[in-house]
Amino acid sequence: MPFANEHAARQTEPDGYKTMRRGHVKGFPAGITVIWGITREGKSEIQSVRADSSKWTADEFSAWLKEHDMKTDVEKASGDTKAEKQSDDSGTLIEAYTDDAGRTRLLLAAELGPDGEPPKAARILSPGTNRTTKGPILFDDEAASNVMSVFAEHGLDGLPFDYEHGMLAEHRTAETGKAAAWFDPAVIDGALWATDIKWTPAAEAALRAREYRYFSPALDLESKTRRAHRLINVALTNRPAMKGIQPLVASEDSDPKPETGTTQEAPIMSQLLKLLGAEDETAACVLVAEREKSHTELLAEHTALKTKLASAEAESTKLAERITALETEKAKGAHEALITKLSEDGKLAPSLHDWARTISTEALSAFAEKAPTTPAEPKQPAVDTVTLSDEDERLIQLHGIDRAKFIAARKAERAAAAR
């Protein structure tokens, strides 16, 4: 079926690939994207090339393909956007619930093939937003990359179908751990698929006998964006599936046409989208994620500013303490200088110096204003100090007296006189 807004040029058949991924190629012009086919050996090949029909006509696209030595068989865009709308846009609602481990489980369905064989492939998530009873699930290019990368990191050669999610039960047994089938997860045209499903004989018989008619994928989602992150496994189940689609094994008298209509969530969702200013649920998820990211960044900035403020306050406290210490040191120096001056002026006896240090500078100044001046005692020459007169110098020269001995004799005379 042609795409609504894209011309497509298939380069290889899709059956030989383990998975598909969509992306841009550096150097390709705007509006040209490719579908990469990933082989089981991990090799990437261009499976298909797409052109945005709003930027390229089919003839221009074909000419560009020829210029780049690619197959030029172009399937023109249909322009019918209605035909390309997914189940989440048509009013259907996927039933979902969250288990005790926080995993999201969906309840989906698909029909048997016309030959009665159990399906070899089943779509798990549509491109874009998948509406569920537990809120939207986003499956975009980033989600596709996440799911396939996590699968590759675990080094598995496939994922299992089990019975009623027995493999995820808290108390597992050998019986609940049995696989019903093995499959390869794949991204095809932007959707997540279970491909190359290999049913066990017991599961195939149960499906043919209509013992099971529905399947339930278990997924891990990113909490903020609700973007799919990991596909855990898929279970066969008999719980009701998505409104408007058929079971894995259709009843003989079932009508293959899906039901249509709206759900009670539709008007509520419309009001929410209007309040958020978003065109659809995908845009709403992105908008909420951006706002949460902005909120997180603001909180981080607030925390950083609080840390800087605390550091500045601590530095300010240190500076204040240093200023106080300097002022105290300066005041102490001024107090000592006043004691020295009063002592020199004869207003403060040496015996009062210790007392003067116990009172404030203001009190010491008040004391000095009223204290009488005491005459300073005459200074006595030191006993051990001898100053030679001019006469002494002439005697030393005239008689050739040893200068040191002469001074020693003078000191002895002064010492005897002092006694």
- 222-269 pLDDT, tens per residue? 888 889 989 988 888 876 333 433 445 433 333 333 333 333 445 565
410 pLDDT higher than 50: yes
Q: Do 244 and 256 form a contact (C-beta atoms < 8 A)?
A: no
Same domain? For 363 and 390 the reply is no
CA-to-CA separations, 241 to 205, 245, 281, 338, 413, in angstroms, rounded: 21, 8, 21, 99, 131
Q: Per the structure, how many domains does the chain have?
A: 4
295 pLDDT higher than 60: yes
Same domain? For 144 and 225 the reply is yes
334 pLDDT higher than 70: yes
Q: Do 163 and 178 form a contact (C-beta atoms < 8 A)?
A: yes
pLDDT (mean) for 202-221: 84
379 pLDDT higher than 50: yes
Percent of the chain with pLDDT over 70: 71
Same domain? For 108 and 213 the reply is yes
Same domain? For 137 and 197 the reply is yes
Least confident of 114-118, 150-154, 192-196: 114-118
Assigned domain for 74 exists: no
Using CB atoms within 10 Å of the CB of residue 129, give its burial: 0 to 12 exposed, 13 to 18 middle, 19+ buried: buried
Assigned domain for 211 exists: yes
Same domain? For 10 and 60 the reply is yes
pLDDT (mean) for 103-120: 62
Give the pLDDT band of residue 201 (cuts 50, 70, 90).
Answer: very high
Domain around 16 = 6-67
pLDDT (mean) for 334-362: 88
- The whole-model pTM stands at 0.41
Q: Do 90 and 30 form a contact (C-beta atoms < 8 A)?
A: no
Same domain? For 177 and 230 the reply is yes
Same domain? For 199 and 252 the reply is yes
Using CB atoms within 10 Å of the CB of residue 368, give its burial: 0 to 12 exposed, 13 to 18 middle, 19+ buried: middle
Report the mean per-residue pLDDT for the chain: 76
pLDDT (mean) for 317-332: 91
d(CA 191, CA 138): 11
137: left (phi over 0), alpha (psi -120 to 50) or beta: beta
Assigned domain for 173 exists: yes
93 pLDDT higher than 80: no
pLDDT at position 232: 87
